[in-house]
Structure formats: structure tokens, C-alpha cells
Chain A
Amino acid sequence: MKKALIIQQDVIILKIIEKLMQLNSYDCKAIRSISDLNIEDQTRNFDIIISEILFDGIAPLDFVYQIQEIILHKSLIIVTNMGQERIRHEIMNTNKVSGFFAVPFDLDRIQKLIA
């Protein structure tokens, strides 16, 4: 079964995305912040990470760079509140992100990406 890591501060969005992933046959770990990650997560090779970029103590771009080193994964999708064009541009230019969705977002588009 494919593995997904979902990191979203908003518990409602977290649950909705979690259900979406489960429906698409993903085994999900859903957490509200990066401080809820543990040592085992670093060894799990996630197929996909769906994450916010607003975390305490770490700049958005820094997070995108650092997550590459901390957690093994195949693709990274950003779902965030801070979705200005400039931010989107910067994040996508890192070439480390498969998709960038700003609130409000269409979950069907995320579904197409993960299918």
C-alpha cells in the first residue's frame, strides 16, 4: 500500500485530505505540525507528502529544502494558506515540489495529481 504523510495545522482540512488519500488507497499518517514527526518517520519512504509551509521557526523555502533531507519521499505537494503568486513562484522554482495549492483549493485537482 502506498504511504502518505499529511501535515496540516487545520484539523478539518487535515481530516478531509486524509479521507481523500485513504479513498485513493494510501496508508496515511496525518499530523498537525512537524514537531509531531518521530524517528520512525525519517526511515519510512513516503510516496507522497502533502504539507503546509507555515511552521513556527522555519521559513517556507527553508522548509521545502530541509524536508528533502529529513524525510524520504517521492513527491511533495504544498497545500497552504500563504499562496501568493510570489510564494508559489519561489516554491515551484526549487523544482522539489510536484504541486502547489493555495487556499481555497479544489480537492479534485489534488486527486488528479495523486492518482
Chain B
Amino acid sequence: MFTTVLFYIIKFLFFILMGTWITIGVSLMYRSRRKRHLNKIEIVFAEITSRYLYPLPGQPFDLVRANRSFRDLGIHPGKPKNVQYLIDLMIRTQRSLLGKNYEKLELLYKQIPPYRVSQKKLLSKKWHIKARGLREIYEMDQKQYIKQVIREINHENIYVRREAQIGMVVFLGWESFRFIPYLKWDMTLWQQIKIVEKLHDLYPIANLKYLRKAYNIEKPYARELIMRIIRKFELVEEIDYIIRYIDSPNFDTRETAIYCISSFQLSEKQLIRLKYKFMNIVNSEQQVQLLKYIDRISPKVDIPFYKLLLYSGNDIIKLCSAEILWGHKCIDEVEEFYYHQYSVQQQPA
């Protein structure tokens, strides 16, 4: 009886094994064909786009022929995967270009597929489809859906809300800062990077009115975002905002502040304020970063400041201060400190 059961189990397992072999074979063939087909679509798209942007004499751009080429490659509503691939190519190209060609491409995209698929994606319950739809809408500059985009800025899925927030910035520019106090979730580093990037690429002239209104937002991610914007746009007049958070109790905010301030040269007054705040920083590694920055931008070495650190800082700060003084040829001060250390150690307890 037991051996009979085992025989049946063996047969069943063998059928499963055969099934996996067949699946592997079919999958291999499909993927090989699919890869070839996608390469073809990419090359045809490259040809059409290049001919449209830079038509050679005697080879004017033919829209009808272009659309026919796409249809021949299976880009029609019946094959959504092909349509999706074409959309990805369109976005990829548009994101690489600026200026007149960017606008020309917008015009071209209105005349070729892909059949309003992006708008349909917004209605999907699946996060990756919805997020993709949002991305396509803002990358293809479909401003008519701005309301639907803004509706998703507090979606529970991070990818959906990220794309919605980026879309909001793309469409509204600096005015989108009005919505930042209403964001319910924290912003990741990548969200901040993308927002700063889009703002810089599409709205290169800073609108300080909206930026300054956001200064009162208490959320750490908002502060970090603002600091990154100040750095990216080189807003020298707003440096004080960054200095304010150099000694923030939040590690990431401090880290961002130190990173952002290192792009700037400071005035005498700002340098004094920075040195004062330096003392409040609890993390030695961050203090070292800041010390090196202070040394880099200071017109002359502030010996009393470094001596103070030499005698009162922790070992890491002492060593960093000693290095800075040594580098500025203040050898006597360093030697004096180490002799002092030596004589203190020599004295009995």
C-alpha cells in the first residue's frame, strides 16, 4: 500500500518536472522573439524621431508613413505591451532633450500613438500601473490631468505619491510648495532629488516668494528639500536657512545641512555663527566634516578657535584640529598641546 502511494507521488512529481521543462522552453522562445521585436521598435522609433527633428534635404518627414510603420510593428490598442514600450521610448527621448527639440517632440507625440493609455492607468487599483500612468502624464506634459495628479499626492503607496508629487512640481513649478504642508507622509531622499531636479530643469529661475513661505514647515523632509533647493539654485541670499539647521537634533537634517552648506562661501558673520553652532553638534563625524569645510573657506586660520577645540574637544576633534593647525604651519601650537598632554599624563593621579 505504502509503495503504491509512493509510485503515484513519483508519477505526479515527474509530471510537474516535465511541466517546468516545457515552461522553460516556451519562455526561452518567447523572450528571444520578444527581444528582437523590441529592438526593431526602438530602431524604427529612433529613425522616425531623428528624421522628424532633423529632416535631411529631399527627405521630408512623412507622418502617415511613420504611423504606418508603428502599426506594422504591432503598436495598436490590441497590443498594450507594444504600446507601453513605445511610450517608454517616447519618455526616454523627451527626458534627454531641452529647448526647441523638446517642444517639437511634444508636437510629434500628439500625432502618433499611444491612444490615451496613460489616463486609463490612473483609474487602476494596482500601484505600479497607477504610478506609471502618473509618470507618463507629467513626462508627456498632459496638463489637462493635473487635478487627478494632485489628488494622489498623499496616496498610501510610496511610488504613487512620489510620481504624483513630482508631477505636481512639473506642472505647477514653484507654486507647488503651497502643497508641501499638506503632505502626510515623509519624503524619501530620491523624492527630494527628483523634485529639485525637475524644478531646476523646467523652472530655472527661483521664485523666492513660494520658497520662503515654506520655511515655516516643521517637517524634517521639507527642511532637507528646501536646503537642497538652496544649494542647487545657488541661492546665496538664503544661506542663513541652512545655517539654522547645522545643529539640528535630527541626524539627517544635520547631514543635509552640512552637505548643502559646503557648496557656498560664507561671510564673516555667517562663519562666526557656524562656529558657534559647531559646538552644539553631537556627532563627531559631522563635526569633522564641518571643521574641514570651515578650514577650506576661511580666508585665514582662526587659531583661537582651533586651540579651543584642541584643548576641549573629544579625541577625534582634537586630532582634526591638530591636523588643520599643522597644515597651516601652526606647528608650535600643536606641539605645545602635545607637550601639555604628556605632562598631564606624567603627573600622579
B69 on the A face (CB < 8 A): no
B96 on the A face (CB < 8 A): yes
For A13, what are the chain B residues with a Cβ–Cβ distance below 8 Å?
93, 96
Q: In the complex, what's the smallest C-beta–C-beta distance from A91 to chain B, in angstroms?
A: 19
B101 on the A face (CB < 8 A): yes
Which among B96, B98, B102 is the interface contact of A10 at CB below 8 angstroms? B96
Q: Tell whether, in the assembled complex, residue B46 and residue A12 are in contact, meaning their CB atoms are under 8 Å apart.
A: yes
Which of chain A's residues has its CB closest to B42's CB? A11
A15 on the B face (CB < 8 A): yes
Which among A11, A19, A106 is the interface contact of B56 at CB below 8 angstroms? A19
A57 on the B face (CB < 8 A): no
B1 on the A face (CB < 8 A): no
How far is it, in angstroms, between the C-alpha of A16 and the C-alpha of B47 when the chains are bound? 8
Which residues from 73 to 100 on chain B have a C-beta closer than 8 Å to any C-beta of chain A? 89, 92-93, 95-100
A70 on the B face (CB < 8 A): no
Q: Tell whether, in the assembled complex, residue B49 and residue A12 are in contact, meaning their CB atoms are under 8 Å apart.
A: yes
With A12-B49, A19-B50 already in contact, the answer to whether A108 and B96 are too (CB < 8 A) is: no
With A105-B96, A107-B97, A108-B100 already in contact, the answer to whether A16 and B42 are too (CB < 8 A) is: no
Number of interface residues of A (CB under 8 A): 19
B13 on the A face (CB < 8 A): no
How far is it, in angstroms, between the C-alpha of A16 and the C-alpha of B101 when the chains are bound? 10
Q: Tell whether, in the assembled complex, residue A11 and residue B54 are in contact, meaning their CB atoms are under 8 Å apart.
A: no
B236 on the A face (CB < 8 A): no
Contact with A along B43-55 (1 / 0, CB 8 A): 1011101110110
With A11-B43, A12-B92 already in contact, the answer to whether A19 and B54 are too (CB < 8 A) is: yes
B201 on the A face (CB < 8 A): yes
For A103, what are the chain B residues with a Cβ–Cβ distance below 8 Å?
95-96
Q: Tell whether, in the assembled complex, residue B98 and residue A12 are in contact, meaning their CB atoms are under 8 Å apart.
A: no
With A11-B42, A12-B89, A12-B93 already in contact, the answer to whether A108 and B53 are too (CB < 8 A) is: no
How far is it, in angstroms, between the C-alpha of A104 and the C-alpha of B94 when the chains are bound? 9
For B54, what are the chain A residues with a Cβ–Cβ distance below 8 Å?
16, 19-20, 22-23
Q: Tell whether, in the assembled complex, residue B45 and residue A106 are in contact, meaning their CB atoms are under 8 Å apart.
A: no
How far is it, in angstroms, between the C-alpha of A12 and the C-alpha of B99 when the chains are bound? 17
How far is it, in angstroms, between the C-alpha of A14 and the C-alpha of B96 when the chains are bound? 12
Chain B interface: which size bin? 20 to 34
Please classify the interface of chain A as helix (H, G, I), strand (E, B), loop, or mixed, using the class held by over half of its residues.
Answer: helix
For A105, what are the chain B residues with a Cβ–Cβ distance below 8 Å?
96-98
Q: In the complex, what's the smallest C-beta–C-beta distance from B27 to chain A, in angstroms?
A: 26
Q: In the complex, what's the smallest C-beta–C-beta distance from A49 to chain B, in angstroms?
A: 19
Which residues from 28 to 84 on chain A have a C-beta closer than 8 Å to any C-beta of chain B? none
For A20, what are the chain B residues with a Cβ–Cβ distance below 8 Å?
53-54
For B96, what are the chain A residues with a Cβ–Cβ distance below 8 Å?
10, 12-13, 103-105
How far is it, in angstroms, between the C-alpha of A16 and the C-alpha of B98 when the chains are bound? 13
Q: Tell whether, in the assembled complex, residue B47 and residue A15 are in contact, meaning their CB atoms are under 8 Å apart.
A: yes
Which among B56, B95, B101 is the interface contact of A23 at CB below 8 angstroms? B56
Which of chain B's residues has its CB closest to A21's CB? B54
Q: Considering residues B43, B53, B54, B100, which has the most beta carbons from chain A within 10 angstroms of its beta carbon?
A: B54
Contact with A along B237-278 (1 / 0, CB 8 A): 000000000000000000000000000000000000000000
Which residues from 1 to 56 on chain B have a C-beta closer than 8 Å to any C-beta of chain A? 42-43, 45-47, 49-51, 53-54, 56
For B102, what are the chain A residues with a Cβ–Cβ distance below 8 Å?
104
Contact with B along A1-28 (1 / 0, CB 8 A): 0000000001111111011101100000
Which among B53, B92, B97 is the interface contact of A19 at CB below 8 angstroms? B53
Which residues from 84 to 106 on chain A have a C-beta closer than 8 Å to any C-beta of chain B? 103-106
Which among B42, B47, B99 is the interface contact of A106 at CB below 8 angstroms? B99
Q: In the complex, what's the smallest C-beta–C-beta distance from B179 to chain A, in angstroms?
A: 25
Q: Tell whether, in the assembled complex, residue B46 and residue A15 are in contact, meaning their CB atoms are under 8 Å apart.
A: yes
Q: Tell whether, in the assembled complex, residue A106 and residue B98 are in contact, meaning their CB atoms are under 8 Å apart.
A: yes
For B101, what are the chain A residues with a Cβ–Cβ distance below 8 Å?
16, 106-108
Give 7 A-B contacts (CB < 8 Å), ordered by A residue.
Answer: A12-B45, A12-B92, A23-B54, A103-B96, A105-B96, A107-B97, A108-B101
* Additional 12 contacts, C-beta under 8 A, given A12-B42, A16-B97: A11-B42, A11-B46, A13-B93, A13-B96, A14-B46, A15-B49, A19-B50, A23-B56, A106-B99, A107-B97, A108-B99, A108-B101
